[in-house]
Structure formats: structure tokens, C-alpha cells
Amino acid sequence: MKHLLIVEDDPGLQSQMRWCFSEDIEVSVVADRTSALAILRRLEPQVVTLDLGLPPDPGGATEGFALLEDILKLAPATKVIVVTGREDRENAIKAIGMGASDFYQKPLDADILTFVVNRAFRLAELEKENSELTSGSTYSNIKGIVAASPEMLAICRTIEKVAPTDVTTLITGETGTGKELLARALHDRSPRSEKPFAAINCAAIPENLLESELFGFEKGSFTGATQAKKGKIESANGGTLFLDEIGDMPMALQAKLLRFLQERVVDRVGSVNPIPVDVRVVCATHRNVQELVDQGEFREDLYYRIAEITLDVPALRERNGDALVIARSLLKQLGTDMDRPNLCFAEDAVQAINGYHWPGNVREMINKIKRAIIMADGKRVSADDLQLEQSDEDHANQLNLRQVREKAERGAIVQALQNTGFNMSRASRLLGVTRPTLYNLTDKYRIETSTPVSTS
């Protein structure tokens, strides 16, 4: 929610200013420094309009400057617009020098004021997004992988450790979770990075062609084989071979692949001369290979060969915090590619992204965001532009989110009460809420508000 704090001691101007803003901006109005700082702590407004001439120095600017300094110390990201008299350019310039983001000169002009305030909100929003995107916590150390969740950051750390080795790695996870991206990261961070990365999708090639695609063939080995051809394995020599959808590899070929993994030689179709090949093998699948083994559809010995290390990539909905940071990064990247830079998500879009089930994971997100970039009016992408159908499961997730929030809120209140010796005024100040709000919350969570009596 956008929150604007108006600091103005003239009651007439106070009410005129209050009515300038549309409903999507929550407005608080105060007339002095103490109340302004209380609101700043409690509601953390992104934008403040500050009349420099405040009591006890309404004719000068000392109190205004002091408050400007306090605000920027307490919440440096706040955009402060100083409001000065017509003849007061000097103070306006001084305020900008101190860190105010803009100034506005009286008399009041509703159009100009709303323009200046909206511009400040936009700036605050962009700065927030930028700092989220560039802060270390939202990026893994691996190029191209955006992650904030502990689950995904742990996977990235494993990738960094495993990459320089030659162990055969199996990456499992739902479609679109980034398995191929991780396989490439294993290659890029290995001593083989200058050599080829050859990928083949075992599910996309008909069974009778897969063998020659993988192992190559000799001239005349079948009708149409007018000249010899290297297979994918050979073409990856020195580098990395990525076998995508390994769970779909036909049984007959599994035996041949196993032989390659054991002997490190390939037998081209129609040839009797094995060719030595040096590749590092990375496999991926969206299927549960252990189950395939149990059902007799996948060779157990091959499973152990390909899964020297297994990485289970969680679905996007299971990664705490990833959906929004990836969405923002995609919006920035795709928006630039599609000639619509500087778009941002409206509040309802953020909620929709966090609450959605993402059955197609990041791949689905890319499509949804591309669509939204085309559909968005103005600078903001709304929930409607994204068109995310909320399923029952999504509603259940939102319920869980509420539970998590309530648990955290309850914990913070109990802690504040304990830290202040159950003093409601001090606890409410510490928590940045009013005393009545704290009473409401302690009622809601049935929290004891008096010191527990010692029974010892």
C-alpha cells in the first residue's frame, strides 16, 4: 500500500492537500515534528511532504530542517518533498542538498502536487525493486540463476562444489524448475567450460533414431546412411554431455548407455571399433527414477551410475520467496527485450504471484510475464494482466501464509512485552503500533498483558 505523510501546520492547507490524492494512496496528516516521527515509525510512509515552516518556528525553517534530518536518519529510503513559500528557493535548495528528493513551492496547485508526489512514489518503488534485485540475497553466485530461497541457494552451493569434479550428476524436479540451467552451470563452472556442452532430450527423439543420435553411425550402416556421423556423445568430447529426460530412455538403449558409462567408449551404429570419449555426464528427469526402477522400467545398475550425486530441485511453489524475485527479474529483463522497460508489478499482481501454484514453474512464469508485458496499460502490471487462475491449492497456500504471518506477529508481541516488562506504551512504541492497536492484537491472540506471577 502506498502511504503518504503530509507534515503541514496550516489547517486550511492540510485539508486541501488531503483531497488531492486518489484512493490508492493512504494519507496521514500531522502538524508537528513529534507526531511526524511517530507516524514514520508506525506506518513507514514511502513519501513525505514536509512544510519547512513548522512550529515553534513557523516563520523560519529550523524545525523543518531538523525534521528532515530525523526522517532521513530514521528511514533513509523515504522520499521527502519539501514544501516552501514562493520566495524561499534558497531553503529548498539547501533541503535538496541535505537529501530531500524534491521540492514544491506554494501556493498549492493540485495537479502539480499530485504529479510531484506520484513521481516520488514511483522513484521509491523502483529503488526498492532495484535494491532487492541487486542485494546479494536475491541472487545466487551462479550466472542466470535468480534465487532467494534457502532451498535454492543450498542447491547453488552444491553446484559450486560439484562443478569442478567429474562425478555423474542426476538433477530431478518438475518441468520448468531450471534443471537444464543447473546442468549448464555445472559445465560453465568446470574445467571443461571451454569445451562443448552437448544436450539431448531422450523423450523428444523417436526410439529408433535415438541410438544413432547418441552414438553416431558408420557409412552404410542403414539405408540412407550415406556418410558416417558422430553422435552427441562424441561431439561432447572434452566437455559435458547433458541427457535430458533420462527417465524416458528405452530399455534397449539403457544397456548401451551403461556400457558407455563403464567403459567410456562409444560404439557407432554399424561399427566394430570402439571410440574412446572423455565426457562428463549430467542427467535430468521430471520422473521419479526410483519408482521407475521398482516398476522395472529403469535399470537399477544404470540408476546408480548416473546418480553419483542427485540434486532435487524443488518446485517454485515450495521455494520460500523465489517466485517474486524471479518474477521481478524476468519483468526487468523481458520488459527491456520487449521495449517496455521500467514496468513494475502493482500490489494485486504481487499477491497473485505469491499465492499462485505455478504448476509449470519458471517456464510458465516466463510465458505469463511476456503476456502481461504486452497487456499492461501504463507502467504497472496488474493481476489481471498476468491471468493467474487461482486453484483450491493456491487458496490453501494463502491460508498457510496467513498462519505464518500470525505466528510471527504473535511472537513479536510476546517478545516486546517481555522486553519492556509488560509496559504497554513502551511495547507499542517498540513495535511501531499505537496502544489501542496493541490491545486489539493482544486480545486477538489472547496474549497475557500483565507480568506472569512467579510461583517459585
Ligand X SMILES: Nc1ncnc2c1ncn2[C@@H]1O[C@H](COP(=O)(O)OP(=O)(O)OP(=O)(O)O)[C@@H](O)[C@H]1O
Among 326, 376, 413, 438, binds ligand X (CB under 6 A): 326
Does position 146 interact with ligand X (CB under 6 A)? The reply is yes
Nearest one of 243, 270, 273 to 258, comparing CA atoms? 243
Does position 325 interact with ligand X (CB under 6 A)? The reply is no
Closer of 145 and 373 to ligand X (Cβ): 145
| Rounded distance between C-alpha atoms, residue 126 and residue 342, angstroms | 8
Residue span 262-301 as binding mask against ligand X, x where in contact by CB under 6 A, dash where not: ----------------------x-x---------------
Among 46, 149, 168, 177, binds ligand X (CB under 6 A): 177
DSSP 3-state assignment of 370?
Answer: helix
Does position 127 interact with ligand X (CB under 6 A)? The reply is no
Count of CB atoms situated within 10 Å of the CB of 146? 20
DSSP 3-state assignment of 423?
Answer: coil
Residue 352 beta carbon to ligand X: minimum distance, rounded to whole angstroms: 19
Closer of 256 and 286 to ligand X (Cβ): 286
Options 4-12, 28-36, 174-182, 296-304: segment touching ligand X (CB under 6 A): 174-182
Options 19-27, 141-149, 342-350, 427-435: segment touching ligand X (CB under 6 A): 141-149
Closer of 144 and 150 to ligand X (Cβ): 144
| Rounded distance between C-alpha atoms, residue 30 and residue 46, angstroms | 16
Options 131-139, 209-217, 358-366, 442-450: segment touching ligand X (CB under 6 A): 358-366
Number of residues that bind ligand X (CB under 6 A): 19
Does position 314 interact with ligand X (CB under 6 A)? The reply is no
DSSP 3-state assignment of 381?
Answer: strand
- Residue 212 CB partners (closer than 8 Å, separation 6+): 222, 229, 231, 269
Residue 155 beta carbon to ligand X: minimum distance, rounded to whole angstroms: 9
Does position 179 interact with ligand X (CB under 6 A)? The reply is yes
Does position 83 interact with ligand X (CB under 6 A)? The reply is no
Query: Pairing relation of β-strands 197-201 and 79-84?
Result: unpaired
Count of CB atoms situated within 10 Å of the CB of 165? 14
Does position 247 interact with ligand X (CB under 6 A)? The reply is no
Grid cell, residue 19, equals 483531497
Among 175, 351, 398, 420, binds ligand X (CB under 6 A): 175
Among 82, 95, 100, 147, binds ligand X (CB under 6 A): 147
Strands (E), 131-279: 169-172, 197-201, 216-217, 229-230, 240-244, 265-266, 275-276
Write out the DSSP string of 24-39: TEEEEEESSHHHHHHH
- Whether residue 235 contacts residue 192, with contact meaning beta carbons closer than 8 Å, is answered with no
Nearest one of 163, 178, 155, 170 to 246, comparing CA atoms? 170
Closer of 7 and 147 to ligand X (Cβ): 147
Count of CB atoms situated within 10 Å of the CB of 233? 25
| Rounded distance between C-alpha atoms, residue 392 and residue 414, angstroms | 33
Does position 412 interact with ligand X (CB under 6 A)? The reply is no
Does position 335 interact with ligand X (CB under 6 A)? The reply is no
CA angle 217, 223, 229 (to 5 degrees): 20
Options 3-11, 55-63, 71-79, 169-177: segment touching ligand X (CB under 6 A): 169-177
Does position 195 interact with ligand X (CB under 6 A)? The reply is no
Residue 174 beta carbon to ligand X: minimum distance, rounded to whole angstroms: 7
Within residues 23-82, the interface with ligand X by CB under 6 A covers none
Residue 183 beta carbon to ligand X: minimum distance, rounded to whole angstroms: 8
Does position 363 interact with ligand X (CB under 6 A)? The reply is yes
Does position 362 interact with ligand X (CB under 6 A)? The reply is yes
Among 181, 258, 315, 334, binds ligand X (CB under 6 A): 181
| Rounded distance between C-alpha atoms, residue 106 and residue 373, angstroms | 39
55 alpha carbon, distance to own chain's centre: 45
Under the rule (CB under 6 A), what is the footprint of ligand X?
144-147, 173, 175-181, 244, 284, 286, 326, 362-363, 366
